[in-house]
Each structure stands twice: as C-alpha cells, then as structure tokens.
Structure 1
Amino acid sequence: MIVNALDDLPADLEVEVKTKAEEALVAYATQFDPTQLRRLGRRILEVIAPEIAEAEEAKRLAAEEAHARKKTRLSMRRLGDGTTRIAAVVPDACADRLATNLEAFASPRREDGTRTETGDYLPYHRRLGHAFCQLLETLDPARLPIHGGDATTVIVTIDLDQLRTEAGIAQVLGGSPITAAEARRLACTANIIPAVLGGDSEVLDLGRKERLFTAAQRRALLLRSATCEAEGCDIPGTWAEAHHWIAWAQGGATDLDNAALLCSHHHHRAHDPTYLHERLPNGDIRFTRRT
C-alpha cells in the first residue's frame, strides 16, 4: 500500500516531499490496517505538503474524470424471459446522482411495493430495481432532448378491442409487447402516447391532450389528497401518478371526478386484473384480491 501510494504521487514532485511521504506512511503502518493505509495514502500530501495538496488533488480529480468519461458505457441484453440485463460503467458523480434519485423512490420508509407478501422489506437491490423503473416513468418528456423531430416519447400501439379486454396485448413501438393492463396504466401517464388502432391499423387515437391530466389538475388533486389515496398508504402525492378511475378506453373523462392519485405500486395494482378496488366513504381506495 505504501509503494502504491508513493507511485501515485505526481511524477514531478520534489524528492524531499516524496521522502516525507514515505516516512509518514511507514509510521502510519504501525497504527492502521492496509485498507485504512490506502485511504491515508491518497491524502498524504494534505499532511506533509498542504500548500500544494489542493492543486495536486485538483489535477488528480481532473485525470480521474477524464478516465471515467473514456470508460463510460452501458449495454442492454434481452434475456428472453421478459427481462433485460443492464450493465453500466459510469463516473462516480453520475452514480451518486442516480443513487440519490433512486433512493427517493426506494426508501424503506415507503410502503408501495417495498415489502414482500410476508411483510418483510424487499432486499435493497430489488428496491433499487423497482425505483429505476419508476424513475424512468416519471421523467418529464418536455425536458428531454429532441429525438427524431419530437420530444423523446414512447409510443404504445394496441388494437381497440384488445385494449378493452383483460388479456389483450400491446406493442411498444421499437420495443417489446406488453399486456393491455400495462398499456392502460401507461395511458394515465403523460410520458406515454397511446396509439389506439382500429381495423386495418387505422389510428383511432394518438394520445390527445384531453386524455392526459394537466399540471393544474395534478395540483388540485394534491389539495384533495396530500398522499397516495390507497387505504393506509402515506406515499407523498408529489411522488404519485394521476389515474383514470374509469379507464379512458371505456369512455372515462380526464377530470377531477374521474381521477385518483396513486403511488406507482398502487397504480400498477389498479390495472392488475387480479385485484378489485373500491372507493371507501372516507375517500380512500381499498384493494382486494379477486377470489
């Protein structure tokens, strides 16, 4: 560890400074284990030559950032079972930003899908996986780069008759098939454009604005309920999604009387055909598994 730390010092450093660094690290070796010694080695200039430490640290960080940019990559591979493996190498700062965003969704204090059927919290890596999916769905398309002449958008195509059945199948344009239930859920989100097809693939609806809840409507929903409206759920409404109580495919209007504010977990459940949901007298929404 001492040799590695000395080798990492700037090549143009004066011999006298390197000698002081070696002496200091040898002394530290009598008190600290190798892991601790490695950390001390990275900061040794702050101890023996603080007047040049900041400038040298800045140069080291610049070199690391340049190296990180060269190493940055991401790959996606379909596994053939409905999942895709994503592998990435990104700069530490980018990873820190991603972790902060994901942990806002994955906090164990939240109840929306962070527990197993037995009541135990999901493992951290599984909570992060669910959080990553939720993060992608809540990105503001208006703030994304222009792609093909339009803001980056996901288009889901589905036959109208398929949309109205529980067993229907939709197709993500350029992607994979999804269930009609998932398409109905995505249709509640402004980030997704549902393209409903009739006979001979005629486009019947292409996500007209009135299908989507406006920012003003979302603010009104937050005034009505500061949290997810599912019974017992305390997820903040600012993290929730506007749901059509009567699906727009069934003629449901995009207005407050037909709206429910649901967290991602309960929004999925509202479109899950294995569950029933009802509005209670106090305004909460209760979910029960079909028998």
Structure 2
Amino acid sequence: MAETLDPYLVDLERLHADLDRVVERDPVFLPVATKRQALLMAASASSRAQAVLARLVGCAEDVADAEGHRDVASWLTHRTHDSLTTTRRAQRLGVACEQRWHRVGLGLLGRRMSVDQAQVIVAALDELACGRDLVEAPAEEWAEVLVRAEVYLVEQAVGFGPRELRRLGERLLEVVAPQWAEELERRQLEAAERAARRRTTLSVQHHGDGTAFIRARVPESVALRVTTMLEAFTNPRKENGEQAGAEADGRRVPYERRLGEAFCSLIEALDPARLPLHGGDATTLVITMDLATLTAGLGTATLADGSRITAGEARRLACTAGLVPAVLGTRSVPLDLGHATRLFSPGQRKALAIRDRECRADGCSMPATWCEAHHLKPWSAGGRTDLANALLLCSHHHHLIHDDRYLHQRMPNGDLRFARRT
C-alpha cells in the first residue's frame, strides 16, 4: 500500500513538477515583452520560494535535534551541500518572522516584499528593540512603538528597495516615537564611540620585498582626519567617475596608489620635534552643532562628511584638533565659526610639559610627550586658552573627563581624581 503524503509535501511535489515543465522550455527566443514579464514572474517566484524555505527553517529545529545537528542550518547544509552562509541567513530570517516579526513574515509570504527587503527590515527592527534599555522606556509603551515601527516598514516595502529601507530604518524612531529619538541616538553614538576606541588597532606586516602591509581600524572621526590629510597631497578630482592622476608617460595612476603615496609624503612631512601628533597641530575639522548642545555637552554634532558624533566627543576634539565649530542658533543661523587659535600653541604645550611633566590624573605617570592639553574650563563656556586654565592629560584620562559616566574632582596638588558614577 502506497504511503500517503502530507498535503504540504504534495504541494511541494506539484511545485517541483511545475518547475520541471518550465525548465524544459527554452527562453532564448521569447519576444521581448514575454521575457520582460517572465523575468518579473521568475523573480517573484524565486522570492516566494525563499520565503517558504525561511518559514520552514524557522520552525524545524526538531529536525536538527532528531539527528544530533547543532541547528537546522547545519543540517540543511549537510544534506543540500549549499553554503552555510545561505542556510544561516534563511534560518535567521525564518526565526525572526516566526518568533518576533509576524507582519514581516506575512508580507514576505504574501509577495509584498522580497527576501532582501525582509532581511533589512528585520535588522532595523531588532536594532530598535535593543534600544529600550538605552531610553528606559516603559515596556508597554515600547511594545507599541515596535508595532508601529513594523507596520511602517512593511508599508514602505511596497515602494522602496533594500537600500532605501535601510536608510529609513536608521531614522525609524524619528517617525514612530520622535520623543525618544534624540536621546536614543545620543546614547547609541556614545556607545559606538566607546566601542570604536576599544576596537582601534593597527598592525604592520613586512612582506620582505621592500614593502609592508599596514592595516588599521580606527574611529570614523580619525579616518576622516586621515583622509583630509591625504587628499591635501593628492588634490583629488573626478573624471568620468574615476579619480584623476597620471604618470609622466600619461598612464593613469590608480587612486589607491595615489593615496598610498600621499601617506608616505605625509609621514615624511611630519616634524619629529612636534611628535606625538596631539602634542602639535592636528587636522582641521568642521563640526556643526547648535549652541545649546555645545554649551551643555549633550546631544550630537555633525562632521563635514555627514558623520555623527556626540557633543562630548566634539568638545574633547576641541582640545586636541584644529577644530572649526560651526555653532548654530535658532533656524540654523550660524552664530560663530571658531578658529584653530582656540588650541594651545606649541610654546604653551612646551611650558605645560615643563610644568606638569606627566599626566595630571591621580596615579597616572604617562609622560608629557604623550599627553594632550585640556581646558579646565571649556572654551565653549568661556574658558581661556592659557596656562592657568590648562593641564596635561593622557588620551585615556582625556576621554574620561569628557565621559558623563565619570565624576572628577581637583585635588589640593592640582591633580584630577576620577570616580565612576554609581
């Protein structure tokens, strides 16, 4: 007696049979209008098939458990010889739609979005869900925010692709809960800046052929400063979508090589007497922020390339970089364009090095040559750039004094003592 198949399997068998008939047809000589329609239909069918797989993978952990596999993605990879990356991607999407974002799952199965769109939406919603602890929102209110956010992105998927949806997801809270948007962005940027400092690395690998491979991971603001320096040497301009530059014989020089040569020129142009870099003059940056944000040190600021940093980081950079703050008043009217004269001069830094000798944080012995000059009273609050209003701090303690998680007090000998807020 033949085994009776589950209706689910029967439908999948029928789908395979339909695909067999399609595969047997040669599309090469189809009319243009037919090809156009066939492309759209095939893309839609492919997306729905991926959606079905993701949904199935999302509820099939018992299959992996029955055969001792770590998860269903590894089981499926072993059986289909597909890449683990592909099956993991399907598993993450399926689990997300099955357990957290049901409207996304329905939209995916109902042909209202593609798998790529769903992946972007799920990532944005998951990131937003993690933001509740940062803004300390009540659980009930935050649950309503997440519902509105999911509904909004599912609706936007009708008219926008993955790239546009990713951008909408980045500013999602401004649409569904604007009362918490600024606070969440500020705290996320603070966390990102702290994480960026922890992840900062640089390694040098010598190839033995007269060259070395330098690999660095640095905060975005540092990367922008380096780019600004290098482009001063390369004087870049674009021609036909490519960066200009040519050898003496007319051959085009790749822009990456020109940046490498500019890096070499930059290193050769450094004055050894003024190292470390923060002990001398640094690259000029333009940072845009409103007056209230600048004064309070809370909120966010914008770099020249559109990157966002916290106001605290902007105030810290003001002590060490050639910073041009574009301070805005009401209706974004410029109130002031600061100048690099806000920085301590090389002569003042030498005097500070003689006076302080090392970092003035209590218990720190970092030598003066590796320290940065700090305004005791911030220049944004009217502090003067003179020796009476300055002391040396190493990079670690200079970050701490601008970190609102820490308190600091001046000791009788003039040193600073730090304590984490409780």
**TM-score where L is the length of structure 2:** 0.37
Please state if 1:241 is matched with 2:372.
yes
Considering fraction of residues, name the structure with more strand. Answer: 1
Q: 1:214: which partner in 2?
A: 345
Which SS does the other structure have where 2:288 is aligned? Answer: strand
Assess if the C-alpha contact under 8 Å between 1:156 and 1:171 holds in 2: yes
Distance 1:235 1:131 in 2: 23
Q: 2:392: which partner in 1?
A: 261
Shift in CA distance, 249/224, structure 1 to aligned 2, threshold 3 Å: same
Letter in 2 for 1:222: A
Structure 1 gaps of 5+ residues are 1-79, 100-127
Shift in CA distance, 204/129, structure 1 to aligned 2, threshold 3 Å: same
Q: 1:145: which partner in 2?
A: 233
Assess if the C-alpha contact under 8 Å between 2:405 and 2:421 holds in 1: yes
Assess if the C-alpha contact under 8 Å between 1:188 and 1:212 holds in 2: yes
Listed as ranges, the matches of 1:31-46 within 5 Å are none
* CA displacement at 1:130 relative to structure 2: 6.9
Assess if the C-alpha contact under 8 Å between 1:145 and 1:152 holds in 2: no
Query: For this pair of structures, how many residues does the alignment match?
Result: 183
Which SS does the other structure have where 1:218 is aligned? Answer: helix
* CA displacement at 1:170 relative to structure 2: 0.6
Q: 2:298: which partner in 1?
A: 167
- Residue by residue, what CA displacement relative to the aligned partner does 1:24-61 show, whole Å, maximum 9, x if unpaired? xxxxxxxxxxxxxxxxxxxxxxxxxxxxxxxxxxxxxx
The root-mean-square deviation of aligned C-alpha atoms, in Å, is 4.3
Distance 2:367 2:223 in 1: 15
Q: 1:198: which partner in 2?
A: 329
Shift in CA distance, 166/94, structure 1 to aligned 2, threshold 3 Å: farther
Q: Larger deviation: 190-199 or 278-287? A: 190-199
Assess if the C-alpha contact under 8 Å between 1:189 and 1:212 holds in 2: yes
Structure 2 gaps of 5+ residues are 1-169, 171-187, 237-281
* CA displacement at 1:287 relative to structure 2: 0.9
* CA displacement at 1:270 relative to structure 2: 0.7
Letter in 1 for 2:370: W
Assess if the C-alpha contact under 8 Å between 1:225 and 1:237 holds in 2: yes
Which SS does the other structure have where 1:164 is aligned? Answer: helix
Listed as ranges, the matches of 1:30-179 within 5 Å are 92=207, 95=212, 145=233, 153-179=284-310
> Which structure is richer in relative contact order (CA contacts within 8 A, separation 6 or more)?
1
Distance 2:353 2:293 in 1: 33
Shift in CA distance, 146/190, structure 1 to aligned 2, threshold 3 Å: farther
Shift in CA distance, 200/95, structure 1 to aligned 2, threshold 3 Å: farther
Q: 1:252: which partner in 2?
A: 383
